[in-house]
């Protein structure tokens, strides 16, 4: 199959790949993820209605259409070229609308599976009506689908589906029944979804407004920007952690992604920052706190401050002081920042105790409090706290050669495991070590974590519990082998800042691997979640916010290097 990214006659790139899917997403929170043949219960057209994600359309079947031969990413739309016809897909922003066009008039069968995303509920009957210029369907959950078309009829026959992608990622059930729902005739079809027939018809009457792109933009950068934009739900406002199944607003993921979002959509980035600031250390599902979300948020304050006024700066200072007090009261032991099980980004692991990235985050919070303080006495106080903690962390975590991952203050035991969290620590608070000390640590860590294809493993490759293969929905490999693209891109940022010349080959490999994944793997034009350690793959979510955001940061940091 051929994949093409097309910005104009003078700016397009193509490559033959083994197989590819595509993902379109809009600022209403909807997405369209399709393969040549539907391979997952999470593929199809999904709409976010009343804060719930619903699958609406499972797929399309064109009479005598033939197999898919090429996917062309036009950034505003996707063209899917089959043997005998070309399909064009648009997802207009700010609407629950799908525009589906063909290069010539054809008969198209539309497969329906209207249910909440995670539901395994069996496909249910619906009520079909023909109206002037529209077909309307009412489903059991009082959702309505309207189709603007020349002609169509109801079929309503159940068909069995086997989903090979879901079986590959160990995510049952692997099959279900869907409706061969309606048969359409024509060249252009507009689908709209709503909570009433009137709403659905209004959505189906919407037309696309095309965004104009600079023809000289770098294609990989535009792909990452578009992916990040596509995860922004403006009505929240919030950033989905990832698609197709992480359509949630997770504080850690949002905070990490804010620096790049500031450049893509500064007003919404600022709104999200202050929402997260007010939300604070709230408990999420299962009573777990994203303990590092606050640390990331105050790292992002550095980027927000230049676009804030005096009152907003005061609000940041006030909340920062409050969160430091909370850390001292509830998350401090023997002077170290501590967390409970599953509260760090490596949430498939216990990792309780004091973790290196948490120490860097608390140190950065002291630093920010010092910078934002209006009184000399406060600046002196926070400066003293910062200096004392910095020395304490260095004495315990750093042995002159390695910066270790964890420490248990109540037992006075160091966990001498090598993990990539030292790169997060260096990103958040580079003042922790001197340049020559960071170089020693990174040299030792890279010897144990580096993957020759251009990735960073989440665990020392020589450790007994290391997984070379991604384990899918089962989390064993997530933080014990899998290489996360956001960590890879973050590492490129850190290495570039420390010593571009010394670490040039590592940086180049990381950026090449991420670019390859964005352009030609997974859902083409989107940056995925993880890769197996053994070789570059696109696994996990096909579009991940912090992967896209960190890639954009890394491109900015390394643009003068290559």
Backbone angles phi, psi at 41, to 5 degrees: -70, -5
pLDDT band at 291, cuts 50/70/90?
Answer: confident
CB atoms within 10 A of CB 424: 28
**How far is Cα 155 from Cα 182, in angstroms, rounded to an integer?**
5
pLDDT band at 213, cuts 50/70/90?
Answer: confident
pTM of the model as a whole: 0.96
**How far is Cα 412 from Cα 193, in angstroms, rounded to an integer?**
58
Mean pLDDT across 507-528:
97
Mean pLDDT across 73-98:
95
pLDDT tens digits for 239-274?
A: 999 999 999 999 999 999 999 999 999 999 999 999
pLDDT band at 215, cuts 50/70/90?
Answer: confident
pLDDT tens digits for 417-439?
A: 999 999 999 999 999 999 999 99
List of residues 6+ apart from 490 with CB closer than 8 A: 423, 424, 427, 550, 553, 554
pLDDT attached to residue 344: 94
pLDDT tens digits for 457-492?
A: 999 999 999 999 999 999 999 999 999 999 999 999
pLDDT tens digits for 9-62?
A: 889 999 999 989 999 998 999 999 999 999 999 999 999 999 999 999 999 999
pLDDT attached to residue 559: 78
Residue (of 143, 30, 51) closest to 97 by Cα position:
30
Mean pLDDT across 275-288:
75
Domain ranges of the chain: 2-204, 219-558
Mean pLDDT across 365-387:
94
Provide, rounded to the nearest whole percent, the portion of the chain with pLDDT above 70: 98
pLDDT attached to residue 254: 96
Mean pLDDT across 407-425:
95
pLDDT attached to residue 419: 97
**How far is Cα 271 from Cα 469, in angstroms, rounded to an integer?**
39
CB atoms within 10 A of CB 308: 16
pLDDT attached to residue 329: 80
71 contacts 194 by C-beta, under 8 angstroms: no
State the chain's maximal CA–CA distance in angstroms: 78
| CATH number for the domain formed by residue range(s) 219-558 | 1.50.10.10
Distance in angstroms between the alpha carbons of the first and the last residue of the chain: 30
Residue 103 has pLDDT above 60, yes or no: yes
- Adjacent-strand bridge partners of 116: 54
């Amino acid at each position: 199959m051929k994949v093409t990214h097309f910005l104009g006659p003078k700016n397009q790139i193509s490559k033959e790949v083994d197989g590819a899917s595509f993902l379109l997403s809009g600022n209403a929170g909807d997405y369209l993820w399709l393969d040549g043949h539907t391979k997952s219960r999470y593929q199809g057209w999904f709409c976010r209605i009343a804060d719930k994600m619903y699958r609406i359309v499972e797929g399309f079947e064109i009479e005598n259409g033939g197999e898919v031969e090429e996917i062309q990413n036009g950034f505003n739309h996707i063209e899917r070229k089959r043997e005998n016809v070309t399909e064009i897909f648009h997802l207009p922003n700010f609407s629950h609308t799908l525009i589906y066009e063909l290069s010539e008039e054809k008969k198209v069968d539309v497969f329906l599976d209207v249910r909440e995303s995670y539901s395994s509920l069996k496909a249910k009957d619906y009520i079909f009506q023909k109206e002037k210029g529209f077909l309307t369907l009412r489903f059991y959950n009082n959702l309505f689908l309207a189709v603007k078309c020349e002609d169509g009829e109801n079929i309503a026959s159940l068909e069995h589906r086997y989903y090979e992608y879901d079986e590959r990622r160990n995510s049952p059930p692997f099959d279900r029944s869907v409706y061969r729902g309606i048969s359409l005739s024509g060249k252009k079809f507009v689908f709209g979804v709503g909570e009433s027939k009137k709403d659905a018809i209004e959505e189906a009457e919407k037309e696309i407004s095309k965004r104009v792109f600079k023809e000289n933009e770098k294609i990989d950068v535009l792909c990452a920007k578009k992916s990040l934009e596509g995860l922004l739900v403006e009505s929240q406002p919030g950033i989905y952690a990832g698609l197709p199944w992480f359509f949630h607003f997770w504080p850690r993921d949002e905070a990490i992604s804010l620096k790049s979002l500031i450049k893509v959509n500064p007003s919404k980035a600022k709104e999200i920052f202050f929402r997260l600031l007010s939300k604070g250390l709230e408990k999420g599902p299962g009573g777990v706190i994203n303990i590092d979300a606050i640390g990331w948020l105050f790292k992002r304050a550095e980027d927000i401050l230049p676009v804030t006024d005096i009152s907003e700066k005061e609000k940041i200072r006030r909340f920062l002081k409050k969160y430091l007090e909370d850390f001292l009261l509830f998350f401090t032991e023997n002077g170290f920042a501590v967390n409970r099980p599953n509260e760090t980004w490596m949430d498939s692991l216990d990792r309780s105790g004091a973790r290196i990235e948490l120490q860097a985050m608390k140190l950065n919070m002291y630093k920010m409090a010092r910078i934002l303080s209006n009184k000399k006495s406060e600046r002196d106080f926070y400066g003293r706290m910062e200096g004392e903690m910095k020395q304490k962390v260095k004495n315990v975590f750093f042995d002159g050669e390695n910066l270790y991952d964890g420490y248990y203050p109540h037992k006075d035991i160091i966990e001498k495991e090598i993990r990539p969290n030292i790169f997060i620590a260096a990103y958040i608070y580079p003042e922790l070590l001197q340049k020559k000390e960071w170089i020693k640590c990174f040299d030792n860590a890279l010897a144990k974590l580096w993957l020759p294809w251009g990735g960073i493993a989440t665990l020392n490759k020589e450790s007994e519990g290391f997984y070379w293969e991604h384990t899918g929905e089962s989390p064993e490999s997530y933080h014990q082998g899998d290489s996360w693209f956001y960590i890879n891109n973050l590492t490129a940022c850190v290495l570039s800042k420390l010593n571009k010349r010394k670490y040039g080959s590592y940086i180049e490999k990381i950026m090449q691997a991420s670019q390859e994944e964005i352009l030609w793997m997974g859902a083409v034009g989107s940056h995925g979640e993880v890769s197996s350690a053994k070789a570059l793959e696109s696994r996990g979510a096909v579009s991940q916010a912090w992967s896209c955001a960190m890639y954009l940061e890394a491109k900015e940091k390394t643009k003068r290097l290559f």
